[in-house]
Amino acid sequence: MQIPHNGDVAAISAAHRGQYLTRGRRLEYFTIGYNSLEGAASIVAGWIAGSASLVGFGLDSLIEVTSGAALVWRLHHDLNAARREQVERTALRTVGACFIALALYILYESSSMLVRHVPPERSIAGVVIASASVIVMPLLARAKRRVAVQIGSEAMHADSKQADFCSYLSAILLGGLLLNALFGWWWMDPAAGLLMVPIIVKEGVDGLRAEACCNRCGLQ
């Protein structure tokens, strides 16, 4: 998706920028609230069921809360270009580091479950949580991208990818939980967790390279 050039952004700013900024903040407040509830529910359900992928999904939700909070900060300082760039870089690096830590946790826990042959309990709560996320996250990502295009924000566009990422994880998680619940294929749960790892690592590396990304995007 193309972000508008500076001239286009200026034209948008004169007429509707405040409206889009307000919409963007509302989306981020929703992100923070929804993912806080989703994260807490996923971690509790995963702990009860012994599901590494479900706990990992909950931790990913908390990472999205961090990203959403950084974007709220960024949108509140939209008119200060220097401040905007600093907030964006800090947020991306923080989230990148969290993703790397999350990937390491899932890699260890899922591998350990497979080696020890420890079956998780079936988690209906996990299926419900993942199903809701599969529906909500793509809609949220699309709404964020619309705002990103209108205000010319690479930070907002990157944050929309967090929602996309969550929807991918939801689908992987849902598949693993359903196969375990329907057929007793317990090994699908840790396998689903391992499938998350390369995706999470890629997002983490991209986040840690925030400075180069910001320079290419021309956020000055």
Residue 13, SS3 per DSSP:
helix
Residue 71, SS3 per DSSP:
helix
Task: Please say whether the dihedral angle defined by the alpha carbons of residues 181, 122, 30 and 161, taken in this order, is positive or negative.
Answer: negative
d(CA 102, CA 166): 13
How much is the mean pLDDT over the chain?
80
Q: Which amino acid is at 88?
A: E
Pick the CATH number of 17-211 from 1.10.3470, 2.30.30, 1.10.760, 1.20.1510: 1.20.1510
Take residue 104 and report the two structure tokens written for it. Answer: 């390491």
pLDDT given at position 137: 94
Q: Are 110 and 194 in contact (CB under 8 A)?
A: yes
Task: Evaluate if residue 10 carries a pLDDT over 50.
Answer: no
165 pLDDT band, cuts 50/70/90, is confident
- Domain-by-domain residue ranges, the chain? 17-211
What is the mean predicted confidence (pLDDT) over 91-101?
Answer: 80
pLDDT given at position 26: 94
